């Protein structure tokens, strides 16, 4: 009778590397070997979950909205500077959320705030003759944003070691549709809609820790926007900056913050995964 083999739980790469580094010390391993192993261990070992800003950090909102505008222009015969249109649409994002924060508007999800701004831009740019169906489809361009080239591969690596989720001001249905369309491998969807507080309100960040049953310092916000990260740090979260120089176009490259301002500084998600031991 063949002896059955017990099934062992697979060890994570991060745990293996940590144990290997410890073994190297006990076995009198060289400093060079130990350094190589330690370089693959996470620089923030207490972090259990990663939450991500989405617009500009995970996806290229500007390039995607320009593409959607160009497709609309071809169908409708509009002669529009779609880069300017995309920038103006995005510029309405902050002021519209401030109307919610101030109490001028009740809680309003981002899809509806985007539509308010779009309605104004349609008149300003003279996009005449659009049906309600066309307006709704164009407004949902924000559901169809394309990821940065490194995003899916980097997220997939990180997911092997951490719980990963968006933490965006986008509403849940927007983020869910975006993930399905772009193939973003989230474990779950977190949104400002769940706390009914838009970032950078502290409630938005703390809701993520609460829902994961973690302490704030066990959660890291990953973002390309220093202001978002500073607010997360004030709420007690760890912080990871990822540089996206082309977020606002090649003609306006993003200037990075000091490399030591946040817990992690990475040039893309693959480098981030390496620093976090994934």
Average pLDDT over residues 147-160: 98
Instruction: Report phi then psi at 157, rounded to 5.
Output: -65, -45
**Structure-model confidence comparison of residues 172 and 31, the more confident one:** 172
| Predicted pLDDT at 145 | 98
HEC per residue, the chain: CCCCCCCCCCCCHHHHHHHHHHHHHHCCCCHHHHHHHHCCCCCCCCCCEEEECCECCCEEHHHHHHHHHHHHHHHHCCCCCHHHHHHHHHHCHHHHHHHHHCCCCCCCCHHHHHHHHHHHHHHHCCCCCCCHHHHHHHHHHHHCCEECCCHHHHHHHHHCCCEEEEEECCCHHHHHHHHHHHCCCCCCCEEHHHHCCCCCCHHHHHHHHHHCCCCHHHEEEEECCHHHHHHHHHCCCEEEEECCCCCCCCCCCCCCCCCCCCCEEECCHHHHHHHCCC
pLDDT digit string, tens, across residues 66-79: 999 999 999 999 99
Please report the domains of the chain, with CATH numbers, ordered by start residue: 49-60+145-275 (3.40.50.1000), 61-143 (1.10.150.240)
* Residues 79-109 pLDDT 10s: 999 999 999 999 999 999 999 999 999 999 9
Least confident interval from 38-42, 246-250, 260-264: 38-42
pLDDT of 205 reads: 98
Phi-psi sector, 126: left (phi>0), alpha (psi -120 to 50), beta: left
Q: What is the mean pLDDT of residues 123-127?
A: 97
Please determine, for residue 263, whether its predicted confidence score (pLDDT) is greater than 80: yes
Residue 38 has pLDDT above 90, yes or no: no
**Predicted confidence (pLDDT) at residue 52 exceeds the cutoff of 60:** yes
Q: Is 241 left (phi over 0), alpha (psi -120 to 50) or beta?
A: beta
Average pLDDT, the chain: 89
CB contact at 8 A, 37 and 16: no
- Pick the residue with more confidence: 23 or 178? 178
Tell me the C-alpha distance between 155 and 185, whole Å. 7
**pLDDT tier for residue 26 given thresholds of 50, 70 and 90:** very low
């Amino acid at each position: 009778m063949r002896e059955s083999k017990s099934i062992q739980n697979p060890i994570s790469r991060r745990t293996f590397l940590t144990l290997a580094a410890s073994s190297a010390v006990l076995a009198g391993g060289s400093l060079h070997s130990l350094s190589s192993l330690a370089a693959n261990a996470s620089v923030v070992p207490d972090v259990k979950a990663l939450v991500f800003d989405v617009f500009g950090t995970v996806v290229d909102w500007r390039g995607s909205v320009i593409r959607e505008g160009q497709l609309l222009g071809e169908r409708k015969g509009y002669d529009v500077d779609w880069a300017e249109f995309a920038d103006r649409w995005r510029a309405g994002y902050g002021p519209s959320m401030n109307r919610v924060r101030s109490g001028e508007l009740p809680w309003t999800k981002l899809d509806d705030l985007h539509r308010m701004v779009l309605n104004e831009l349609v008149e300003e740019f003279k996009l005449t003759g659009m049906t309600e169906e066309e307006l709704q489809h164009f407004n949902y361009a924000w559901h169809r944003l394309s990821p940065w080239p490194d995003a899916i591969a980097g997220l997939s690596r990180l997911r092997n070691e951490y719980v990963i989720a968006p933490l965006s001001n986008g509403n849940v249905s927007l983020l869910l549709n975006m993930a399905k369309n772009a193939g973003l491998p989230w474990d779950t969807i977190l949104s400002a809609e769940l706390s009914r507080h838009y970032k950078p309100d502290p409630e938005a960040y703390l809701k993520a820790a609460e829902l994961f049953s973690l302490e704030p310092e066990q959660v890291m916000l990953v973002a390309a926007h220093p202001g978002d990260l500073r607010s997360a740090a004030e709420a007690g979260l760890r912080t990871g900056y990822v540089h996206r120089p082309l977020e606002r176009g090649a003609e306006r490259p993003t200037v990075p913050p000091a490399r030591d301002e946040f817990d992690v500084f990475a040039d893309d998600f693959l480098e981030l995964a390496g620093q976090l031991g994934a």
